[in-house]
A and B are shown apart, each in its own frame.
Chain A
C-alpha cells in the first residue's frame, strides 16, 4: 500500500466566492447602474471576466486593458484594471503597442464584433499573425449596438436590423475560423448563458502565452433580439442554450450545421512575438550595426 500524499495547502480560489467579495477585488462598481440596457449580456460577460481574473489570481495592477468604441467599451471602467479606451477599431494595435512597451503587463483587449472584425479587422489578423501575447475578447451581439443596431460582419443572414429592413443580404464571418486562418494560437467560443464554461475559457485564454481569441456570444435583446422575435433577455439566452453544441474532435458537419460550436476550438503554441523580438535585440546589440556611430550610442558600450 502506498503512503497517501499529504494534501497540499494551496490558496486555490473558491469558484463559489460571493459576488460582493469578487466585485470588491476584481471590479469597480459605481454607485450607479451599469450603462448597459437592463438584461444586457455585457453585464453577464463582465461577471464572467471577474471570475476569470479570480481563477487566475491575477495581480490587477499589472493588467492593462485596451478597447474601442461600442456598448462594451464602458466595461473596462467597471473592471479593476487600467484601460486605454481608444478609438473605434484600433484595440489590437494599441494592445500590441502596450505589450511591446511593457511585456510584463497582462494585456486584455475587449472589443465588439463590428469594432474588431470590420474597422479593426486589419489589426486583428496581423496581431494574430504576429502571435503577440494579448487576449482578445470579442463580444458578439450580431451588429453595431451602440449606434442603434445596424448590421455587421457577424449578423446572421436574413435577420432584420436597422440597416437591413428587408433582411440581412450578406453572409457573416465565422470569427473563430478567421482567427485560426490568421494564425491565432488559441481560439475559443462561449456564450454568456454558459456562465461556468465562459469563465473557464476566459481564464484559459488569458493565461495562454501567445495571441488568444475568445468569441463571446453576448445577446442584444433590445435591438437585434427584438427585431428578430426575441425581445427578452431570457429569450436570447434560451436561443443560445438550444443552438449551442460543444466542440469535440468527432463533431460532424451535420451536427455543427446552424449551431454555435462552443469550447476551445484551436490551441497550438508557436513562438511569441515579444520573445522573438528580444532575439532581434540581442542580435542587434551583438552585431552593432551602428552605421559608424560610437559604442556609447549603440548602447553596447561596457
Chain B
C-alpha cells in the first residue's frame, strides 16, 4: 500500500506553546520555534495522520489533512495577533 501523505496546518496565532503536541507525536513530526516556542512542523514526511496532535491540542490550533482532503469552507477562527 502506498504511503499516504498528510498536511499539518498549524495556526501560529491560536497556538499557545503548551508543548503537548510535540511531546505526544509518536514520530516526532512537530517541534517548536523561538522566540515564543509556537508549534511548527519539523518533519512532515514522518506524519502518519494519527491526529493525536489535532485531538489533543487544547487550542484547536492544528488540523491534519490527508492528501486530497481540502480545508473546510469555514476555517477555525483566529484571534487577532497579540490577543491574550
Report if A and B associate in a common complex. Answer: yes
Partner of B58, one of A19, A40, A196: A40
CB within 8 Å of B: which A13-32 residues = 16, 18-21, 23-24, 27, 29-32
Question: When the two chains form their complex, are residues A232 and B19 in contact, meaning their CB atoms are under 8 A apart?
Answer: yes
Question: When the two chains form their complex, are residues A31 and B23 in contact, meaning their CB atoms are under 8 A apart?
Answer: no
Question: When the two chains form their complex, are residues B57 and A43 in contact, meaning their CB atoms are under 8 A apart?
Answer: yes
Shortest CB distance A197–B (Å):
11
**Complex CA–CA separation, A39 to B71 (angstroms):** 25
Question: When the two chains form their complex, are residues B56 and A193 in contact, meaning their CB atoms are under 8 A apart?
Answer: yes
**Complex CA–CA separation, A30 to B79 (angstroms):** 8
Task: Assess A18 versus B83: contact at CB under 8 Å? Given A29-B76, A38-B16, A44-B55.
Answer: no
Question: When the two chains form their complex, are residues A195 and B56 in contact, meaning their CB atoms are under 8 A apart?
Answer: yes
Q: Does A277 contact B (CB under 8 A)?
A: no
Q: How many residues does chain A have at the interface if contact means C-beta atoms less than 8 Å apart?
A: 34
**Complex CA–CA separation, A235 to B74 (angstroms):** 34
Question: When the two chains form their complex, are residues B58 and A32 in contact, meaning their CB atoms are under 8 A apart?
Answer: no
Chain B residues with Cβ below 8 Å from A29 are 60, 76-77
Chain A residues with Cβ below 8 Å from B54 are 18-19
Nearest A residue to B49 via CB reads A16
Question: When the two chains form their complex, are residues A18 and B63 in contact, meaning their CB atoms are under 8 A apart?
Answer: yes
Chain B residues with Cβ below 8 Å from A30 are 77, 79
Q: How large is the interface on B (under 10, 10 to 19, 20 to 34, 35 or more residues)?
A: 35 or more
Q: Does A183 contact B (CB under 8 A)?
A: no
Nearest A residue to B58 via CB reads A43
Nearest A residue to B56 via CB reads A44
Q: Does B46 contact A (CB under 8 A)?
A: no
Task: Assess A18 versus B59: contact at CB under 8 Å? Given A31-B80, A234-B24, A237-B24.
Answer: no
Question: When the two chains form their complex, are residues B78 and A31 in contact, meaning their CB atoms are under 8 A apart?
Answer: yes
Nearest B residue to A38 via CB reads B16
Chain B residues with Cβ below 8 Å from A43 are 57-60
Shortest CB distance B70–A (Å):
9
Hey, what's the 0/1 contact readout for B16-29 against A, CB within 8 Å counting as 1?
A: 11111001100000
CB within 8 Å of A: which B53-75 residues = 54-60, 62-66, 69, 71-75
Chain B CB within 10 Å, residue with most, of A18, A24, A234: A18
Further pairs besides A18-B63, A48-B55, A195-B55: 8, Cβ < 8 Å: A20-B72, A21-B72, A30-B77, A41-B58, A232-B19, A233-B20, A233-B58, A237-B56
Which residues of B are in contact with A by a Cβ distance under 8 Å?
14, 16-20, 23-24, 49, 51-52, 54-60, 62-66, 69, 71-80, 83-84
